[in-house]
Amino acid sequence: MIKDRQLIVFGEDFDRHPHCLEHLVRRLLPYNRVLWVETIGMRSPKFSFYDLRRVTEKLKSWWSPKKKDLARPLPDNLTRLSPFMIPYNQFGIIRQLNKYLVVKKVKRAMQTLGFKEPLVLTSIPSTCDFVGEFNDSFSVYYCVDEFSLWPGINPKIVGPMEKKLISKVDLVLTTSTALLEDKNDLHPRTELLTHGVDVEHFRLTGESKGNRKKVGFFGLIDERLDQQILWGLSKRFPGVEFHMIGEVVVDISGLKQQRNIIWYGKVAYADLPKAIQDFSVFI
């Protein structure tokens, strides 16, 4: 266990969509001081409702960071930072500007917090320009997915970013054997750290209410969801209910016509165990 260290973590917005990096860092918070740097996504925004809403959210976080902290109290030992960034890293001049803006703001926060020779942890390839700028004592790339295959992301941009990041860090941690095999050739210190389960959080009190006719899913519902398969399952098994929990950011109008597919929308992480306790099969 890492103890009595100063960590700089580059990740998505803290406490927006609880993800593996956040779960990992929360385990370290009781024993370490953490500066969490919220970065923008790697995908250039498009003219869509979801992207416009995200742009609005980011603008609010840049202009009114104190209001954001009051709305969502932070854990002890954690400081959140939301540097202004421009979401078009395919242009060299914008990448240089983003580097200047982020490094300057992080260094200012380090000075305020008294951070010296921090441990740097990142899970985002686009942070390749920042790692190594903070007198890092040790740096880790937590590789949680093959980002070059994500919808809306240009692999010709993300691929070189990831290779640059891997060349700069001291350690690469991968969440699957496939990622381990792929990144192992790029770095001599590549290790496997698979996902786990927060057993205490999901432990249910009383008897299980498992229902064989209820199939559950929870997570972000985007382009990676195979809508054709889900539609086919719902047609083949009309007596089975398919419960879909998560924010929807794609058009699902075709699936909404199926009465045995139930859409919950976003459910808070604290309420998730109760929401899924009636399911016995998950997809």
- Asked if pLDDT for residue 165 goes beyond 90, the answer is yes
Token readout for 140 is: 């880790």
Give percent above pLDDT 90 in the chain.
61
Token readout for 273 is: 């165990």
- CA dist., res. 160 & res. 36, Å (int): 25
The pLDDT assigned to 204 comes to 75
Q: Which of 43-47, 93-97, 238-242, 275-279 has the highest mean pLDDT?
A: 238-242
Comparison of pLDDT for 44 and 36, the residue scoring more: 36
Cβ neighbours around 145 below 10 Å, total: 13
- Spatial CB neighbours of 199, under 8 Å, sequence gap ≥ 6: none
CB 168 within 8 A of CB 128: yes
Task: Write phi, then psi, for 69 (nearest 5 degrees).
Answer: -70, -35
Average pLDDT, the chain: 87
- CA dist., res. 104 & res. 171, Å (int): 25
- Nearest CA to 162 among 122, 132, 193? 122
Long-range Cβ contact pairs of 11-18 (< 8 A, separation 24 or more): 11/36, 11/37, 11/38, 11/39, 11/122, 11/123, 11/124, 12/38, 12/39, 12/41, 12/124, 13/38, 13/57, 13/61, 13/82, 14/38, 14/74, 14/78, 14/80, 15/72, 17/220, 17/247, 18/269
- Asked if pLDDT for residue 67 goes beyond 70, the answer is no
CB 8 within 8 A of CB 37: yes
The pLDDT assigned to 86 comes to 85
Radius of gyration of the chain (CA): 20
- Nearest CA to 134 among 164, 161, 111? 111
Task: Measure the CA angle with vertex 4, ends 102 and 12; round to 5°.
Answer: 35
